Structure 1
Amino acid sequence: MKLKDYFRTHFDNPDILEESFAERPLTLSLDLQKELYQIQSDSDELNMAYFDKVYQKSLTLFEDLFHENDRLYLIVRVRKELHSPPAKSTEIFERYLKNKKNRYALEFEKKDVRDEEEIIYQYARLLPSRKSLRYKKLLQAICNQDFPELYPRFKSRQTYYPVIYFVNPDKDIILYIFDDRGCFILLNEENTFQYLNEKYRLDQSEGFLTEEQ
């Protein structure tokens, strides 16, 4: 099943990534770290204790939502000005897929951004499991994207950094970690939503915090 057909069938919307997740009813909003800050107090230096916590929480969350035998859709979106050179969105797949064979066998879509002179290039690849992906490094790169001194991070060739979505088609879960601050988890089933909402609320003291739904 193609990604667009999957979204149409399981989330009733083939263009679900165009929507604001915060406005959907079965969405969890999580903070990756609440107690520390990116910058050390009375200093301009980065607070690496903060980033270590963020890395660990993003990893714990990812491995909780994507078990070893779950399939994984990796989706990469790059937003560009309409008349700029074509975006090179395959870089993420080249850097973070373990098996480079057939790395260009990707689902591709090109979308105009409504009412704006911009365009989105979207690439997606269905992986047999999380083991196909260097996901620890990829999660760190997502969290590091606003901090040029940290590594790994995305190359800033484009006007915008790439946006990464992880989709579990076996459990109907969409995970969007937007940067070091937090993430959205989109679900399509009330019982799963309630279960995860309760589970991550119990972990507030360790850094996850859900907003009221």
Structure 2
Amino acid sequence: MNIEEYLDKRFPTVELVPTIYYQWDIGIHFSLGEGIYQLKENGELNLERFHTGYKQALTIFKELYDQNDDLFLVTNIYRRKTQQQRKMKVYYPNLRDKNNLKRLQVKTYPYPFEEDRREEYEMQQFSLQCKVNDIRVNGLLKAAIHEDFSLKPRFGVDSVHYPDVFFVNITKDIIFFLYDDRGCEVIARTADRLRPLYEKYYNWIEEVDRERIEKSLL
């Protein structure tokens, strides 16, 4: 089974592009690092913001994913069609067993954003089926948190947009997407997977999202 076959069967309306929260009826959008600004008054980066966001994202991930769960680790690279492929620091640094790289799959799709740029740009989607325990989740989450800032680790790809990484749990039918230091999205096939998470981390959800989320989890 590949990622396309899995999505067609379990999440038929979902494309793995931002934002998955609005593509599926059952989901939660969490805001991270609320009340802590990215910059200090002197213009320096406020590391507390990134550390807090990382801890929150990791907490959510651990609530949903067990070490033995099967998943697809999916990465979107957005690039010019004529651009030479540069090294992607998503899989190699974060795989415990580098032999798993032999099973990495890639497919090219049309550019998913501005219609008028589709002739010039494209999206390459990489996917790897593995266990949660096969990957270094900490490094992946930190690199996603650092999207707009010169902090390490980073995904290290010179492309049109920073790479997007999705954790697709095929054991529990859950998809987790940390888009940057501002927040993350989680969708699930059934509401019972997310209801305890909503109740436990209610304060991490903006008021504007609560009504929609509550209806989806009834």
- Scaled by the length of structure 2, the TM-score of the pair is 0.85
Deviation at residue 177 of structure 1 after TM alignment:
0.3
**Deviation at residue 162 of structure 1 after TM alignment:** 1.1
Structure 2 CA distance for aligned equivalents of residues 73 and 17 of structure 1: 11
Residue equivalent to 2:10: 10
Report percent identity of matched pairs.
27
Structure 1: tracts of 5 or more residues without a match: none
How much has 1:88 moved relative to structure 2? Answer: 4.8
Measured in 1, the distance between the counterparts of 2:17 and 2:58 equals 25
RMSD: 1.9
Distance 2:44 2:199 in 1: 36
In the alignment, the residues of structure 2 paired with residue 54 and residue 181 of structure 1 have an alpha-carbon distance, to the nearest angstrom, of: 8
The match for 1:188 is 189
Alignment-derived partner of residue 142 in structure 2: 140
What's the offset of the Cα at 1:156?
4.1
Kindly tell me the number of residue pairs found equivalent between the two proteins: 203
Question: Where do 1:1-213 residues align within 5 Å?
Answer: 1-13=1-13, 16-18=15-17, 20-23=19-22, 24-40=24-40, 42-86=41-85, 88-89=87-88, 91-113=89-111, 115=115, 116=118, 117-128=120-131, 130-148=132-150, 150-201=151-202, 204=203, 208-210=204-206, 211-212=209-210, 213=212
Give unmatched runs, 5+ long, in structure 2.
Answer: 213-218
**TM-score in terms of structure 1 length:** 0.86
Residue 26 of structure 1: CA displacement? 1.3
